[in-house]
Chains A and B, each alone.
Chain A
Amino acid sequence: MARIELKGIEKRWGAVVGVRDVDLDIADEELVVFLGPSGCGKTTTMRMIAGLEDPTEGDVVMDDEVMNEVDARDRDVAMVFQGYALYPNMSIYENIRFPLRMRDVPKGEQDKLVREAAGMVELEDYLDRKPGALSGGQRQRAALARAIVRKPKVFLMDEPLSNLDAKLRQAMRVQIKHLQRQLKITTVYVTHDQIEAMTLADRIVIMQNGAIQQIGTPDEIYNDPANTFVAGFIGSPPMNLIKGQVEGGTFRAPGCEVAGIAMADGNVTLGVRPEDCVVGGEANLTARVYGMEPTGDMTFLTLTVDGTHFEVKADRDYRADLESEVTVAFDQSRIYFFDAETGARIR
């Protein structure tokens, strides 16, 4: 049982603001992902939940108890680190057992729990080895087992998969999600990888420059972005953003025209995802082909218009010559409009 509430959290080092204005409620058993580029404040925020850093302002509350003064040791949170942080002088067995010893779990219980945890990550055969003798993926699982073993109130994971190769990452993602569901432990997961965020999260918290940009389910984040940052961060390739004007119900920008817009006149930024564009058809956009990358299941098309790039996901059989001119039609139901200055979503 662990609900986490962050109220007005702010972290400053002298004049440098690392995290500002963070208000967040995390429900019990929820898996929340903090997503954002390096330096956006996601790790700092998580460390404040752990108790490894103290907030300059604001409260960290767990299950209605303010935890600001409570030391990390006593918060009953378990953390999985990017570098795994396994104790190099102890065997894997001892590593996993460590938190149990710290909490005075009776000796008889300890062995059972350690083996159980090792079993959950499929490391039973490696318990005698030291971390140095394990591969990256195995160390990752060992770190996971150490976090699981004492069934903490909260899991915190700091980019645990970034040091693994792509294939392993995918397998571990699935396993982590599975474990979390099975153990029903509230989890905060930090990453800069949007795929991890989209696949793992119940809700995503996108951060940039220390501030929260949007909180929502993966669906909401993807289909209902709150601003241009979120729109441009999520999606691979990210959403195309075009600056232009709306005038008399039509959006105009160099090389681009979209009719039937029910909006007041003014400067706006138009956003449309690459997969919501179709080559040919009614021309919303005219551009030159800059790059064409057939990947087997689809063809990535990079176009240049007005000096910037525009991405389109085309059908897998589509081919085009470089420097040729093409026209693109937008799916009208999936266009977004953002304020030209603030980037905030208008429609």
Chain B
Amino acid sequence: MASQRRAGRENLFIRYLILGGWALFCLVPVLWFLSIGFRPRTEIITPRPIYFPTFSLDAWHMIWEDWPMAKYLRNSVAAIIGSVIIDLVLAIPAAYSLARYEYRGRDDIGFYILSTRMMAPAIVAIPIFFLFRNMGLLDTIWALMLIYAAINLSVVTWIIRSYMLDIPKELEDAARTDGAGDLRILWEIIIPTILPGIITAAVIAMIFAINEFLFTLLIASTPDAYTMSVALANFTGGSDGVIYNAIALVAFLAFVPVFIVVVLIQKHLSRGLTMGAVKG
């Protein structure tokens, strides 16, 4: 991690102009949208925009009363946690295999796993839709769980592999001569040592799952099965059109936990986002 890198005194003005400018560009829409969340229904879409809105908790009541927000939340959480668990169970042995063993086809297998990250959801959307429909799994949390797990598996595997490669081989040699078998080494030594990596992988998978839209749209077609990302798209009602204040509030509800967690792992963020290719 870089210590106090010398910033130099050149162009201080330009630097803060640019950085500050972008910071404003980042924050203004956010803050504005936050204000939308606390406006009464009537003040959102008006002939001329209102710059000094009145405060109202309309939206808060709306999402809990007019819509089954609790259900959406529950669906989202269940699907996400389930998919992350599936991913970890599959990815950790796979990552160990890729990181520590040498065998024919290892690199090809690794590349295949990596390539599934490249796969656009649209490519498999239709077959998956039919598959789940035939299996009667549409509108279930299980379907979402399986899909999210499949989307994220490659990312989780490669992140964990990257952290495993950091462990000195000596450690495993020592455990082996101490009498430990492969699985025990994995469980007792490797996993605890790369815990930060596992957490990073889980967080990244969680974020991608929360964000997922296309599959969720197709699979969760009845309101009962909505997750938060798709529910947003359906906050429409009658004469009001799109109910923005509700959308804004839900967006923030989803944002806050994600923000907190990401700030906690920010040291590992680059490594997570590039699946191990760029270490922070």
Contacts and interface: CB of A to CB of B under 8 A. Distances in A.
A and B touch in the complex (CB under 8 A): yes
Interface of A: 47, 50-52, 71-75, 77-79, 81-83, 85-89, 98-99, 102-103, 146, 156
Contacts of A71: 176
B10 interface: no
Given A87-B189, A89-B192, A81 B176 contact: no
A114 B168 CA distance: 25
Contact of A102 (B168, B180, B193): B180
A78 B189 contact: no
Contact of B173 (A52, A87, A89, A102): A52
B170 A81 contact: yes
A86 B193 CA distance: 11
6 contacts: A51-B176, A81-B170, A87-B175, A88-B171, A98-B178, A146-B174
B177 A50 contact: yes
Contact of B170 (A72, A77, A83): A83
Given A88-B193, A89-B189, A89-B192, A79 B180 contact: no
Contacts of A78: 177-178
Contacts, number: 63
B170 A103 contact: no
Give the 3 A-B CB pairs with smallest separation, nearest first. A102-B179, A89-B192, A85-B174
Nearest to B167: A88
Nearest to B171: A85
B181 interface: yes
Interface residues of B, number: 18
Interface of B: 168, 170-171, 173-181, 184, 188-189, 192-193, 195
A85 B174 CA distance: 6
A203 to B, nearest CB: 23
Contacts of A87: 171, 174-175, 188-189, 193
Contacts of B168: 83, 85
Given A85-B168, A89-B189, A89-B193, A73 B181 contact: yes
A314 B15 CA distance: 67
Contacts of B193: 87-89
B33 to A, nearest CB: 43
A50 B176 CA distance: 10
A344 B195 CA distance: 56
Contacts of B176: 51-52, 71-73
A85 B170 contact: yes
Given A81-B170, A83-B170, A87-B171, A72 B177 contact: yes
Which has the most chain B C-beta neighbours within 10 Å: A73, A79, A86, A156? A73
Contacts of B170: 81-83, 85
